Structure 1
Amino acid sequence: MKTGNYRYVWKAIRYYRKQGGEIVNTPSIIIGLEDMTTKEVFPHPISHFLYKKYHRNSGSINYELNVAQIIVPFLNFILDQVKCELSEYTEIKGLEDLRESHANAFLQYCVDEKSNKNKTLEMKENYLSKFYNYLWDEKVLKHKPKFKLVSVRKGKEVRKVQKIDFTYKKTDETLLRERIKRKDIVPQNHDSNENRIFIRLQYIREILYVAKHETPDIAFGVALQIFGGLRKGEVVNLTRAALKSQNGQKFGVEGLVVLVRDRQNELFKRFIDVSTMQVKSPRDQSCLIDPILNYLYKHHMEVVLKKIKKPKHPNALFYDTEGNPMSADTYDKRFLKLKNTYLGMLLGTQGRYQDYLDFSQTKWRSHIGRGVFTNMCLDVGFNEKQTAVLRGDRSTQSMESYFDIITATYNIRKALSLLSPDQSANVADLNMPTNHRMWKEVQEYGAGLRT
């Protein structure tokens, strides 16, 4: 195994391949060796593992990236141990000398130094097992790993796979003190309240109001994540023509359908690494309707886009400060600004300290919008399968999927009355921060949109 001044790295690339008579510019991930002095990267033959096991079958560069982000640290862990001249690693001259004990040592390191949860460790076990299996099948390893057959369930299918018989000591999760990941915008003190539908709308309107003033370039995108369940990669892939208002009304007042498609080749040719800008599930996405969504749609088209003086792409929906279609990384940074501004507003407002603690002591990024959308769908009566279809998750049988799309889309229309902010009287007696100025402005602002 080559040591010296080298480290294993993963790298996003593009290559051309023929598909159905067309030449397609295809993103992929490779593993390479980086010269730590010159920063030059040399492709490593082990990239074939990603290509053979994942690239040809997954259809998603994110899948390849997930695997690479486990295999690369493992290989660098081995490099570090070899450099330290530890007795268990002196025999390692290359990949052919790897044993299952080295994978066990890496996973123990992930427990002791990284505090990985058992769910993360199980994922690493699966990928490392496939890696060792690949090395054995390709006749690279000198010593056959000890595998055991385990049952793995994927949907309704149960199949047997070979997995290394790992012996490391797993994490005692009772000792972990990791912040909880938020999946909704409703604070914990209201979580069990029967009026949480209306409480949620209050908090949605507040954070979108802050977004409109502090990060107007993504405010409509955040609204689409909340009311349409879009992922950030799906938001930045949108074009202006992707928005379809229903019933001849402007700005989605009587319904908004978003044509979610992968438009990387149209919008992001300037990037090699597009792993964060993929569209997992192309679909026609129906949005739940709220006046603030309509308002932000109108504001985005008539105010935000008009400020882009020299757009590099005339049909993009979201732009960075240089006029390029906004990347997912830029969207993330803008959302982080929104989050920090919102936390600062809560901290600086009398009567909001408990809200500040609730939002600051939990983990959340823009993906919370998808969680909010899911909870709204479930709270207004969609079943789990219909909600999965609306979220753009991979569904089950094709006829069941078709039926669910029809019924779920119909139920969106029924749900609008349940989501109506006219029901605000239902939260009048709750301990909500109705006395502070911004909160009142949000309520008056929403009421004005209905007139």
Structure 2
Amino acid sequence: MELSESYRFIVKEIREVDGNNKVVSIMLHDLRTNIQVPHPITEFITVKYAYHGKSLNSQLLPARILCRFLNYILKSIDKKDKLFMQLSITGLKSLNLYHGSNYISHLTRNGLSRNTIKLNEAILTNFFVFLNENKYIHEKIEIEYNFYKDRRTVKSLFEKSHLQTKYPTSRKSSTILKLKDFGKNRYELMILFIQVARAISPDIALGICFQFYGGLRRGEVVNVTKLDLEVIPYESMIVSIKDNRHILFPHLEDTSNEFPKRTNYLSPRLCKQIIMDIPLVWEIYFEHMNYLQTMKPKNKQAIFLNKDGNAMSGKVYDRRFNKVKKRFLKELLKQGRYEDYTLLNESYWSTHIGRGIYSNILFDMKLTPTQIAIARGDTNINSSMEYVDEKTTINAIKDNLPRITKLSEKYFNN
């Protein structure tokens, strides 16, 4: 009977004896007797993930990736692959980077996406670093690091030329999923995204708040002037959405990326957007106002500025947003948030995700579909729209703000 037909590495969630907490364990399953035995390699998950405060879900993903790699080793031994045969005699002590490189190349040949393979590569890099640190393998591995602020992360161990690791091309798939929201962890991820923006593109952090906490589109954000903001500090913030392209963008020949869409189908009275009154928004608002005072704007009415002092165009806003997105995804990977990283890295999303996030916050507030449509500035409820009290919608938002504020502050203050 083949080795891979007799044994299989599996992941199990096990409840602790003296409590309700669950722990992740890597088990060796004897398929002949149906006996499952905890494997010592579980120490990797415990030390590198559990001890660092990672959630159960954040431990499960690397554990599953590791089990697939170990099961691949068993199958390779069954196939009499010369690269793996020594492992059948000496066990994991003979494991080396060529084995990991071979597995990554195998995933590439099987057509997995580049993002999925890079995720597997990151987990295997952590695994080999762990083995090297504890001297569990014979090979001595030279570790190199990337540095960002006060964080240190390990460079991939498998991109070395002598390993000849095969990777897929970076060409995007034509069937990529278009994402409309950050998912179940949206509140935590919103805060992280905004904090990354504050660090590397502070000139659009307020715009991102307008999108996440007000549902504004990109074109609506860049059209905002100082006169369009109705602000009572720490009490209310309302944005009047207008078509200011003739004021802000006379230097542009094509202003299609700056078009404020809702001005095309809503009356000026309904083009007022309330921004959720939470501490983080106010903090960023005052930071932005202070930033504007340090600038020498060519257009004194603009809220969002290019480096040259002109009003920020939609294309520039997009570039800034994508810069934040790229760093945000790297931060998720560094923090070991592999489930969130996979969702957000393997899907297409851009500035418009702000409207989806805002919509889901409104759903969490238990607003009716009609109220949500009004809050978003939509007309898809057709004639019923004129029969709904606008004040009821605004009051429903205000009544629910303490709960949403608590959810936001929970992650903002961590």
Amino acid at match of 2:194: L
- Find the partner of 2:175 among 159, 178, 202: 178
Q: How far is 1:274 from its partner?
A: 1.0
Match of residue 322, structure 2, among 327, 332, 336? 336
Q: Which amino acid aligns with 2:345?
A: S
Which residue number in structure 1 is paired with residue 154 of structure 2?
none
Secondary structure, counterpart of 2:239 in structure 1: strand
5+ residue gaps in structure 2? 1-172, 264-270
**C-alpha distance in structure 2 between counterparts of 1:177 and 1:383, whole Å:** 36
1:296 matched to 2:284? The reply is: yes
Residue of structure 2 equivalent to 1:318: 304
Q: Structure 1's 214 and 273: CA in aligned 2 closer, same or farther, altered over 3 A?
A: same
Between the aligned residues of both structures, percent identity stands at: 34
Match of 1:257 among 221, 238, 251: 238
How far off its partner does 1:403 sit?
Answer: 2.4
Which residue is 1:281 aligned to?
262
Kindly tell me: are residues 185 and 397 of structure 1, through their superposed partners in 2, closer, same or farther at Cα, counting changes over 3 Å? Answer: closer
Using structure 2 for the length normalisation, give the TM-score.
0.54
> How do residues 191-270 of structure 1 correspond to structure 2 at under 5 angstroms?
191=184, 199-245=185-231, 249-250=232-233, 253-270=234-251
Give runs of aligned pairs for residues 9-158 of structure 1, distance below 5 A: none
What is the Cα-based RMSD across aligned positions, in Å? Answer: 2.1
Q: Which residue of 2 aligns with 1:360?
A: 345
Q: Which runs of 5+ in 1 are unaligned?
A: 1-175, 192-198, 426-438, 445-451
Give the match's secondary structure for 1:322.
coil
SS of the residue aligned with 1:281? helix
Change (3 A) 1:396 1:358: closer
Q: Find the residue that maps to 1:286 and give its secondary structure.
A: strand
Once the two structures are TM-superposed, the CA of residue 267 in structure 1 deviates from its matched residue by 0.6
Corresponding residue of 2:393 = 408
Quick check: 2:278–2:405 contact (8 Å CA) kept in 1? yes
Residue identity matched to 2:313: S
The count of aligned residue pairs is 235
Give the whole-Å Cα distance in 2 for the aligned partners of 1:413 and 1:209: 24
Q: CA deviation at 1:374?
A: 0.6
| Aligned CA distance change for structure 1 residues 401 and 395 (closer, same or farther; 3 Å) | farther
Paired AA for residue 306 in structure 1? Q
Secondary structure at the aligned position of 2:251 is classed as coil
Between the aligned partners of 1:271 and 1:402, the Cα distance in structure 2 is 40
CA shift, 1:397, in A, is 5.5
Give the equivalent residue in structure 2 for 1:54: none
Post-superposition offset of 1:391: 1.0
User: Could you say what secondary structure the match of 1:299 adopts?
Assistant: helix
Q: In the aligned structure 2, how far is the partner of 1:268 from the partner of 1:366? A: 20
CA contact (8 A) 1:225 1:373 kept: yes
Counterpart CA distance in 1 for 2:408 and 2:198 is 24
**Structure 1 counterpart of 2:393, one-letter code:** A
- TM-score calculated relative to the size of structure 1: 0.49
Q: Could you tell me how far 1:418 is from its partner in structure 2?
A: 2.5
Which amino acid is the alignment partner of residue 337 of structure 2?
Answer: R
Q: Following TM superposition, by how much is the alpha carbon of 1:423 offset from its aligned partner in structure 2, in angstroms?
A: 8.6
Q: Tell me the amino acid that sits aligned with residue 394 of structure 1.
A: T
Structure 2: distance between partners of 1:359 and 1:422? 21
Q: SS in structure 1 opposite 2:289?
A: helix
- Say which SS state the counterpart of residue 393 (structure 1) adopts: coil
- Residue matched to 1:271: 252
> In the alignment, is the contact (CA less than 8 A) between 2:379 and 2:385 conserved in 1?
no
User: Do the aligned residues in 1 keep the contact of 2:374 with 2:385 (CA within 8 Å)?
Assistant: no
CA contact (8 A) 1:389 1:395 kept: no
Deviation of 1:402 (Å): 5.7
The one-letter code sitting in structure 1 at the alignment partner of 2:219 is: G
Give the 3 Å change call, closer, same or farther, for CA 305–423 of structure 1 in structure 2. closer
> SS state of the match for residue 285, structure 1?
strand
Change (3 A) 1:361 1:411: same
Please point out which of 360, 367, 372 is paired with 1:375. Answer: 360
Flag the 1:177–1:412 CA change in 2: closer, same or farther, 3 A.
same
Whichever residue aligns with residue 240 of structure 2, its letter is: L
Q: CA deviation at 1:200?
A: 2.5
Deviation at 1:210, TM superposition (A): 0.7
